[in-house]
Chains A and B, each alone.
Chain A
Amino acid sequence: MNPASSVIIFTVLSGMGLGYLALLATAHDYTGAAAFWHWAFAYALATIGLAASAFHLGNPQRAWRAFTQWRSSWLSREAWGAVLTLLAFAPLALSDWLGLGLPRGFGWVGAVLAMATVIATGMIYAQIRAVPRWHHWSVPLLYLAYALAGGCLLAGFRMPAILALVGVAGAVLLHWRVGDGAFARARSSLGSATGLGALGQVEIFEPAHTAGSYLLREMIYVVGRRHVKRLRVIALGVGVALPILALLVVPGVGGFGLAIILYLLGAFAQRWLFFAEAEHVVGLYYGRR
């Protein structure tokens, strides 16, 4: 699958922002100007991420229509989740800033909605049977782990951040382990795609077209996989191991700053791989995956 940069930025930043918002609401009690800046930053992160997702649309002016199909579509559910989450945190953010004294328990509503939104993002991919690598519950888990780790890093919780990063490593390894054999387990082949497998071995004789097409650019994107091993090392080494080391070794805010930069590098590498490594079954018709 084509790793569109807007979708990569969206999933990484909005996940991190939603995780941060959830922790601000449930585990912090900033007041006054500090509350304003923390909430504003968390809101900005989540909103920039969500706005970035609009850049891969063909007709973004109709994006409001994406709120209509929540009964069937995970993308629609995600849109609702994002808006409801941002609304649900608003009273608490105002209360923290202006000292209105809203009970802290209020934050849990937003936190649950935020995590549900992250899960919905994962389900957009996990629901797609035609991409066997994605069609598994480990995908929403992966998105959730990244959101929590990003949130803990921004919220400045040292031990929880380390534990959440270990969780990220576990989710990433599970996703890779399950994903690597997923295409074979899906039992789709050129034989089943053409139905000619019952007659004998099927091979490509001539392509349907010699020029490029939307399918080839979007679904049969093979270029990005050249550096899979290196990117996997970056995702786990730079994105998980080094941030943990930074948190353990470098004291104070500096450790968090370093860890956040490393975490983002790793998260972008992992998210690139998430798309680039994913093989769509339509590639079978073209003899390329």
Chain B
Amino acid sequence: MTCLPQKTDKALGLVIDLDTCVGCQACVTACKGWNDQGYGVPLSDQNPYGSEPSGTFLNRVHSYQVMPEAAAPMIVNFPRSCLHCADAPCVTVCPTGASYKRAEDGIVLVNEDACIGCGLCAWACPYGAREMDAAAGVMKKCTLCVDRIYNENLPEEDREPACVRTCPTGARHFGDLADPASAVSQLVAARGGYDLMPEQATRPTNKYLPPRKKDRPDQASLLAPLLDIKATGLAGWLDRVLGKLP
């Protein structure tokens, strides 16, 4: 049923640290790799080695430049994927019941056997999280690696989404955002994690952590105390004597 659950027991999702992300695209590749072989139809490519390649991806990393008024401009790498919204507009528009939000953990999924490929859910999503697979004609979206996180055939450390597992800088965190005691919830509280496009009234589960404040050129370096080297012994005596000479 494409009515949204009143409440989900958990709210599994991602916390993405824009301060740490270096834009290496490893999460994009890991996502594509895992979802080529697991849940549902593989993410297809069209003309991948030709002049106009195209393909289905569930995660894309943008790069933006931010120009604060009173600080140096900065580059922010910005991974974009499904936010598993509490009020997911993609779910309620689905005419077939293929799109649904799980009551137990809040993951938004597509039952590909019921998807007619009308594309309305992709229209309804403000974040561009859904892409129609051109080969299979069904809608693909982030599954939060539902076939990894509960998979007891995998070693425990691998039971998290492929993008989180692969991130070399630890910029992606996975957990239950409905539990205020969880590591991700505490991270959000400590770092001021926020929602994307709150004006779209989707109540996203995933949160983004803003870049930390950067040093200003006129601020004293953190290394300043270490740079003040006091020489000892013969060098120290020479230093004192030479310092007294006119």
Contacts and interface: CB of A to CB of B under 8 A. Distances in A.
Contacts of A188: 126, 197, 199-200
A213 B67 CA distance: 29
B216 to A, nearest CB: 14
Interface string A195-206: 110111111111
B94 A195 contact: no
A133 interface: no
Contacts of B138: 58-59
Contacts of A1: 123
Contacts of A131: 123
Contacts of A194: 62, 64, 76, 78, 196, 208
Contacts, number: 202
A50 to B, nearest CB: 14
Q: Which of the listed residues A58, A71, A204, A219 has the most CB atoms from chain B within 10 Å of its own CB?
A: A58
Interface in A9-34: none
B118 interface: yes
Given A57-B117, A75-B95, A202 B65 contact: yes
A282 B128 contact: yes
A219 B122 contact: yes
Contacts of B80: 208, 285
B131 A214 contact: yes
Contact of A282 (B68, B73, B126): B126
B166 interface: no
B195 A213 contact: no
B197 A68 contact: no
Interface in A68-121: 68-69, 71-76, 79
A58 B2 CA distance: 19
B183 interface: no
Interface of B: 1-3, 18, 23, 52-57, 60-69, 71, 73, 75-76, 78, 80, 89, 91-98, 114-120, 122-128, 131-134, 136-139, 194-201, 208, 210-211
11 contacts: A62-B96, A66-B96, A127-B93, A128-B123, A130-B89, A130-B123, A192-B196, A195-B194, A196-B78, A202-B66, A212-B52
